[in-house]
Structure 1
């Protein structure tokens, strides 16, 4: 039996109810890597404590790359930043831990000074460690000591995230599994939502361009650490390693599948289209779980220029997401709603094709005045009003 209701954006009654009792708020699920969703997440936690964030562990750039190269582990940078975005920032949370997790070593200091600072963190004498009380302080010191003991002499500490180093120690100390240490720290900093990697596996991204070139590694796609792509991405896959093309397959775990199936709304949010969004949809079982959830699936496109989207205008991206559905099961869709700002120009919209794909366009105010970015409050109000 299907029950329909008239959609109102924003729905002030629903929003008031959620904000009054966020502990019982709806379960919004986001497929997202990167930092694009962090500001939205900080607002979201005031409406619901039940959101789920599946982030990509396939990044290969930044400080995460040093840990991945050292320990052959999944990328944890996006995981750590989203945990902090959802952390309770009131006195009921752990503001001292928040400060520590978001701290980075200087990019300018010499290696000897950085090693001394690392030793002070491990010993508990660092200014950021001292205010943290036991047992949290001892737990953090233990994980940092594991990381310190296991890294090589040439490990690059400049710009390294302390939060990443703590999570890496927990990973190494828990039989190369991320979930136990992430769950523990989520409880200790009172994360108001759940954050998980979509899979707990150390793989990379492989892409084939229309020019015939093959590119391995997320860091080679974003245009941040290398030159922007000169040819559109033709297809993308999970790859074992960065040296040679080696297609890999990994399946969604039962708990992640349950998260997707149980969500009140699934959102494909703004962010790097391939390395943050599509990457999360590559493991076996993700598309099936999305299709099997009868609740709204919403795509919010990027604003501005995403180097990965070269040759991928809006309609092509929408068509790709819609193609996740099984043509044999016409009632199971992977995308229902294209959510757009009412005034922004996203490029050409083929309404007839969208109707054939079963995708409804909903336009509302998502961008605040005099800004070329999404307003965190407006986006949250629109999504929450659909649940």
Structure 2
């Protein structure tokens, strides 16, 4: 078993990586985007002026050792004024408040309650807004960006949010750094655009693996092949180090969306190593067990 790993991203894709990493590493740190402005997170952000808790809570539940508390934290209200809110989102905000509005301290408290062997950290403690540019003009907010095709560029406002020191320290000491899977423009890039994160990845001793998505995402990556994802990363954050690119080879996912096109020759010129492996869970998403096998192989060399 490896000592430590870092997963960078947000949402359901990163949760799948975390479920896999917890089986392979003693200590797992999730570095999670805080640009969300939709659903329960968006409502709480607007009403209370807090960082959106949803992706942070999802990462915590993926790493949770206490299944009963995990289910409780994942509970979502279905009616009344609380309809749509996750109990875990409310608990996290309460813990932040009880710790002097310190989000990292609140996350550590909830991680302790959930028996997490690791940490969940926000990519920044600064309130940020995601913006995008298209040929038709600018788009503001993560929800709007996610629904918009043919994005030319995304950026954060402010452009220089504060990076928690523990984020950079975790990346520096990790045996494996996992990017994705997940939404390119609204989950992965909002982390990488935070000052210091890419430099920490490039200087880290551990290997860096990018886990590709299974399909195009309606809206933000509509019409994009895997090589276009790599080009977008290059355009936004320069020479991001990717030691291994893991791409799916096998049955197509059964859900909606067009399977992501993987041009082996074009992709191979942009990364040190391309791994073509079956990543599908037999239905519609990345299989944590198959991801765990991949991560073990990478750890062993």
Q: TM-score range by the shorter chain?
A: 0.7 to 0.9
Aligned to 1:343: 250
Tell me the secondary structure at the aligned position of residue 288 of structure 1.
helix
In structure 2, do the counterparts of structure 1 residues 237 and 103 end up closer, same or farther at CA, with 3 Å as the change threshold?
same
- Cα distance in 1 for partners of 2:75, 2:250 equals 38
Q: Which has the larger strand fraction?
A: 2
Aligned to 1:99: 71
TM-score by length of 1: 0.69
Asked if 1:235 corresponds to 2:177, the answer is: no
Aligned to 1:80: 57
1:325 Cα deviation from its structure 2 partner: 4.8
- Structure 1 regions of 5+ residues with no counterpart? 1-17, 19-24, 110-155, 223-227, 240-246, 327-332
Aligned to 1:52: 29
In structure 2, do the counterparts of structure 1 residues 289 and 38 end up closer, same or farther at CA, with 3 Å as the change threshold?
same
Kindly indicate whether the alpha-carbon contact (under 8 Å) linking 1:342 and 1:364 is maintained by their aligned counterparts in 2: yes
Give the alignment partner of residue 286 of structure 2, picking from 362, 366, 374: 374
In structure 2, do the counterparts of structure 1 residues 284 and 37 end up closer, same or farther at CA, with 3 Å as the change threshold?
closer
In structure 2, do the counterparts of structure 1 residues 170 and 238 end up closer, same or farther at CA, with 3 Å as the change threshold?
same
Deviation by residue 1:226-266 (Cα, 9 ceiling, x = unmatched): xx32x411111112xxxxxxx43214232211111111111
- Cα distance in 2 for partners of 1:312, 1:260 equals 29
Aligned residues: 290
Asked if 1:257 corresponds to 2:257, the answer is: no
Alignment of 1:78-157 (within 5 A): 78-89=55-66, 95=68, 97-107=69-79, 109=80, 156-157=81-82
Kindly indicate whether the alpha-carbon contact (under 8 Å) linking 2:42 and 2:52 is maintained by their aligned counterparts in 1: yes
Tell me the secondary structure at the aligned position of residue 291 of structure 2.
helix
Aligned to 1:192: 117
- Cα distance in 1 for partners of 2:287, 2:271 equals 27
- Cα distance in 2 for partners of 1:212, 1:379 equals 39
- Cα distance in 1 for partners of 2:65, 2:206 equals 28
Aligned to 1:215: 139
Aligned to 2:277: 364
Give the alignment partner of residue 46 of structure 2, picking from 37, 57, 69: 69
1:372 Cα deviation from its structure 2 partner: 4.3
- Cα distance in 2 for partners of 1:364, 1:220 equals 33
- Cα distance in 2 for partners of 1:320, 1:378 equals 27
- Structure 2 regions of 5+ residues with no counterpart? 252-258
Kindly indicate whether the alpha-carbon contact (under 8 Å) linking 1:322 and 1:335 is maintained by their aligned counterparts in 2: no
Asked if 1:26 corresponds to 2:3, the answer is: yes
Tell me the secondary structure at the aligned position of residue 290 of structure 1.
helix
- Cα distance in 1 for partners of 2:96, 2:284 equals 39
Kindly indicate whether the alpha-carbon contact (under 8 Å) linking 1:31 and 1:267 is maintained by their aligned counterparts in 2: yes
Aligned to 2:202: 291
Kindly indicate whether the alpha-carbon contact (under 8 Å) linking 1:29 and 1:52 is maintained by their aligned counterparts in 2: yes
Aligned to 1:321: 233
1:315 Cα deviation from its structure 2 partner: 0.7
- Cα distance in 2 for partners of 1:73, 1:354 equals 42
1:322 Cα deviation from its structure 2 partner: 4.7
In structure 2, do the counterparts of structure 1 residues 105 and 56 end up closer, same or farther at CA, with 3 Å as the change threshold?
same
- Cα distance in 1 for partners of 2:165, 2:250 equals 41
TM-score by length of 2: 0.88
